Amino acid sequence: MSAIPEIRPGQSIELLKELHILTRDGKLNQDSRRKLKQVDHLLHFIEPLLGELVTNGDSLAVADHGAGKSYLGFILYDRYFKGRSDGHIYGVETRQELVEHSRSLAIRLGFSRMSFVNLRVENAIDSPELPARVGMVTALHACDTATDDAIRFALHRQARYVVLVPCCQAEVARVLRSRKNESLSKTPLSEIWRHPIHTREFGSQLTNALRCLQLEAQGYQLTVTELVGWEHSLKNELIIARHTGAPRSNAAKRLEEILHALNLDELHDRFLY
């Protein structure tokens, strides 16, 4: 396995095979190499934050929303948590069959501090199946409003860090589309989303800008960057939020002004509370 540079020393080969990143004969195809590169790059950002949680005596509980097959959770556990006696990863996923598969795999691998709950992200916010406080919330390609619900979960559970790779942001685009005729007469800015392809693209970018302002209004400091090169994935924006307890002074006001200027007042409660 040393011939495959993407695989770190001591990493579980059995896990990589179970996740179908490696073939049964230990090969790594091009698609799996891209997938592993994305997770590797994300862990490059996540692992130092976990170290800060340990240093500061914060909760070393990670809630991974929209976990799917839990690639991120399993690889993170294998690389970081396996060698520790503390910390816990909670995978939140709506598909029962994936939850059951992940539970079975965690047992087979001896990953005892991994739990999987069959919940929509919005229902996880108040669920007793997850700890009252978590150190980190992650959401890797959680579709549409699931990312917003992950942010709400993070705020409710007082997460120190929030790490997001948003996906399929459709809600804002739907509202832009439904109010397009009204907006055309209200503001010249509506030309930005007059055409359907622009509605989708602008809606996606706007959603993430609003999410950043929402987090800044709640006392988080933001870093926004690329996850990997665009040649690997178009769903590529990485948002890392660090709670400082010092809200950006004009974030909430800016957010509200943007919603009003773009005829999106009905989304007030989605982003401001």
Dump pLDDT digits (tens) for 104-163.
999 999 999 999 999 999 999 999 999 999 999 999 888 878 899 999 999 999 999 999
pTM score: 0.92
For residues 184 and 207, what is the distance between their CA atoms, to the nearest angstrom?
Answer: 20
For residues 126 and 267, what is the distance between their CA atoms, to the nearest angstrom?
Answer: 22
Domain assignments of the chain as residue spans, ordered by start: 52-271
Dump pLDDT digits (tens) for 63-120.
999 999 999 999 999 999 999 999 999 999 999 999 999 999 999 999 999 999 999 9
User: 52-271 belongs to which homologous superfamily?
Assistant: Vaccinia Virus protein VP39 (3.40.50.150)
